Structure 1
Amino acid sequence: MKKSIIASMLIAALGVGLFAGCSKNDSKQASADGKPVEITFWHSMGGAGGDAIKKMVEDFNKTHSNIKVADQYQGAYDDAINKLKSSQQGNSGPDVMQLYDIGTRWMIDSGYATPVQKFIDAEKYDVSSLEKNIVGYYTVDNKLNSMPFNSSTPILYYNKTAFKEAGLDPEKAPKNFDELKDMSSKLTKKDSSGKITNYGFSMAIYGWIFEQYMSKQGKFYANNENGRKDKATAVDFDSNGAGLKFVKMWKDLYDQGLLGNYGRKTDDTQNAFVGGKAFMYIDSTASLSGVLKGVNGKFEVGTAALPNLSDDDKGGVSIGGGSLWIMDKKDKKDDKQKAAWEFVKFMVSPEEQVFWNKSTGYFPVTTKAYDIQDMKDNLTKYPQFKTAIDQLHASPLEARGALLAVFPEARQTVETNIESMLQGKETPEQVIDNAAKAINTSIDKYNKSNK
């Protein structure tokens, strides 16, 4: 089925209405006693993202006199989800929760949240301007469960200045791993003793990148069509060959000294790029603001679409980042949920998404953002941002990632085994076999206890 047809069906299923979805200023929503409805918003954004959220919440509170939102940072995504689980015992959790993409299946199963589809249908909220591929990720059984908020895709960052010095065309980034390998060999530098001082390429030992290269190859990470036709019962990357093909390429580049290994922390690989120790690397588009700020003109930064593993790959990329969930607390006060919905709409309004993009690097989740002059000016000033936007629009809806309730654990399992491979303790075949067995055990255990 063609992408356009699938997208049209998806929009129809989401109940597109006739009315615009922007929340109005000075909302009339208030509690029964006339006081402002107070809601809490848990998020996992530190640094520039945290500063941006604080400003967005302040602006919401100023323009919605009958609602008061308290934003509360809960640490990294894994920390936040553990706090959420604990909070449910005493009904002390948030009214709105920012959760990472890989927590989607678990959150649906938990019953902790009310699908935003309920509010969309009740208001006839127009979702037609929301990015279809992002909406597609959070749509399960024809219901949009959470509102996309901070979305990103992986892109290739490269040092245009180093490209010129190596005799490479700075306007032509590698389109596949064969080209990447060739360019990395020309970019890699050694000292007089033969020790590598600057790597041509690097990527963090990050499970998200592994997942992306299943989508990029047009293959499923898990069975039952990535857990979307029915709940996943096992991984698929071991049987379809996509996982082995990717880790073999990873090890080949590493063994030839063409890939620098800076560990699991993405910040460490980013720092290697910013510091000129690696001339190409893969990272989220959400890192772009930090990269440009870190480089600070020391060299020219280029961005390009995530390279194919092979030239004939027909897949695309899946989104990362997170979304906003409206929690279904035990007291079930309707005024709080209505207030939460007003806040969610505000956070994804075009103006706020432009501010969010400029502050962080996450791209807007609504296409209406591109009609705003401030967004147009920012893309002109920083054309690198357009890479992720174009890549998202070029990706087929089928490339959306897997739904797996044990995804956080699965991601760590993949990372542990890849790390072991780079240390010479496992072969690529063992990486895939060991990871698949461990993840399948976790899936089976979860499914049996969550029927």
Structure 2
Amino acid sequence: MSDINSISRRRLLTMAALGAGTLGLAACSGPSAVSGSDKGSSKAAEKVDYSGVKPASEITFWTNNPGGSGDVTKKICDDFKAKEGISVKIVPAGSSYEEVAQKFQTALTGKDTPDVVIGSDVWWFRYYMQDAIAPLDDLLKAAKVDVSAYRKGLIDDYRYKDSLYALPFSRSTPLFYYNKNHFKAAGLPDRAPKTWDEWKTWAKKLQDAKTGAQHAYQFPSVTDYAGWTLQNMLWGYGGGWSKKDSFEITCDSDKSIEALTVVRDAVLKDKWAGVSSNESTDDMAAGACSATIGSTGSLVGVQKAVGDKFEVGVGFLPGGPAAKQPVCPTGGAGVAICSRSSKEKQLAAAKFIGFLTNAQNTVDFSAATGYMPVCNDADTSALLKENPLIGQAIKQLDVTRPQDYARVFLPGGDQEIAKAVASVIQQGAELKPAMTKLHSTLENIYNTQVKPHL
């Protein structure tokens, strides 16, 4: 793949647009959806005139209520109706971003589509390739939503060919969560470990301290987000799922194997780590482990679940022998508007997503969940006074790194990574052959579904 070993993310999105119809979802876990190849997806977004359009009085919003955000989202919707006279019907369309995406894909084969849909870091661009979401520039202007108010590093994730396709909503980074009581019992410092090598020595002390936890550490469920949560470890050891800003697959490189050996041995050999069957942060809140990695969006839920049982600590993700920073990926989701909705519903939807993510509501959403405020002028002083731990998530945003292409730009790449990791640490498969097979799978996805359109 030496011909495109260095492609900017913006250029990639532009070129991938040329193959929107066939660069679809064939390799993904969800059902296939309609192609956008005959609908002009390869062209720059055409200007749409919304002058004289009256916003609809009711719209639908499909979401998984990330981070237990159902209550705060409902309040925002109620406030929006009071302000604009527009009702928002919240439809819980799944328990995860993937389930929402699969339901959306299925809906695209019929007529029952939402007006607003949540789209995660690995799904929103697939929505675009299906011609399923509308360009937002003209819509947001008509709705008087100022896009310059958003953090540039977050809103730019949803741009290609100088057009915008979503607004940042439930944005996050992984955090290192730990039980301060357990750390104290083991004689450990009240902080996150600086490196994974340091953590290995701490894990033994935690195991020896007889804290009552089953494991010192719990890996998040590999069937969900192994590609995201293990990204940090691979980077720390100098590896990755693919090279930086490149489709050159490196999941079976020596450095990647070194990092994944630590993961495998932690579970199968040294046994200081387990693997969550659901949410690892829930396991920590229940006292089943002393530490884990989880989304910032889990923070408030963890604190509520823990209550006064113990004090929760959070910190930056550990580094490794090759890199200590930046080894933290961003993640989470944005909100997009369905291209099939009428102009009236699209305009109402634009007003809604602007309101949903404005400076005040993004702070309220963050306070209720732990997700990061997405606006530049969001006043976080009261938020941080109420919950100082959220400040760690905001600070870590300054030392993040874009995710590997193999996870976010290869259709189905995330799921293939998860399956390969699960085969090793849950089913006992040999590491090197499993990663060599993953390399072949990811490269085949690239060669058949991406390369022909670049």
Instruction: Give the TM-score, by structure 2 length.
Output: 0.78
Alpha-carbon separation, structure 2, partners of 1:354 and 1:135: 17
SS of equivalent residue, structure 2 residue 204 = helix
Partner secondary structure for residue 303 of structure 1? strand
Structure 2 equivalent of residue 19 of structure 1: none
Given the alignment, which residue of 399, 402, 405 partners 1:402? 405
Distance of 1:407 and 1:49 partners within structure 2: 29
Give the CA deviation at 1:150: 0.4
Q: 1:284 aligns with which of 295, 317, 340?
A: 295
Q: How does 1:215-294 map to 2 (within 5 A)?
A: 221-222=241-242, 225-226=245-246, 236-238=249-251, 241-265=254-278, 267=279, 269-294=280-305
What value does the CA root-mean-square deviation take over the aligned residues? 3.2
| Structure 2 spans left out of the alignment, 5+ residues | 1-7, 9-49
Matched, 1:109 2:129: yes
Q: Corresponding residue for 2:348? A: 339
Tell me how far 1:184 sits from its aligned partner. Answer: 0.8
Instruction: Look up the equivalent residue of 1:392 and give its one-letter code.
Output: L
In the alignment, structure 1 residue 81 sits paired with structure 2 residue 101: yes
Unaligned runs of 5+ residues in structure 1 are: 1-5, 7-27, 227-233
Q: Give the secondary-structure state (helix, strand or coil) at the position aligned to 2:412.
A: helix
- 2:90 aligns with 71
Q: Contact (CA 8 Å) 2:175, 2:296: kept in 1 or not?
A: yes
Once the two structures are superposed, the pairs formed by residues 3-402 of structure 1 within 5 Å of their partners are 36-45=56-65, 48-65=68-85, 67-75=86-94, 76-119=96-139, 126-170=146-190, 172-189=191-208, 198-204=214-220, 205=222, 206-214=226-234, 221-222=241-242, 225-226=245-246, 236-238=249-251, 241-265=254-278, 267=279, 269-310=280-321, 312-329=323-340, 333-369=342-378, 371=379, 375-395=380-400, 399-402=402-405
> Quick one: distance in 1 between partners of 2:345 and 2:101?
21
Query: Contact 2:328–2:400 (CA<8 Å) still a contact in 1?
Result: yes
Shifted more, 420-429 versus 49-58: the winner is: 420-429
Distance 2:112 2:154 in 1: 30
Structure 1 stretch displaced more, 81-90 or 302-311: 81-90
Measure the CA separation in 2 of the matches of 1:120 and 1:419: 42
Shift of 1:391: 0.4
Return the offset for 1:285: 0.9
Deviations 1:300-341 (A, max 9, x none): 111000111326344342222211111111xx6322222111
Q: What is the number of equivalent residue pairs in this alignment?
A: 401
Aligned to 1:12: none
Distance (whole Å) between structure 1 residues aligned to residue 239 and residue 160 of structure 2: 19
Q: Is the 8 A contact 2:166 2:337 kept in 1?
A: yes
Structure 1 length-normalised TM: 0.79
Alignment deviations for residues 120-147 of structure 1 (CA, whole Å, 9 cap, x no partner): 5677854333223222332334433211
1:142/1:272 Cα in 2 relative to 1: closer, same or farther (>3 Å)? same
Q: Secondary structure at the match of 1:115?
A: coil
Match of 2:415 among 388, 412, 420: 412
Residues 215 and 401 of structure 1 are in contact (CA less than 8 Å); yes or no, is this contact kept in structure 2?
A: no
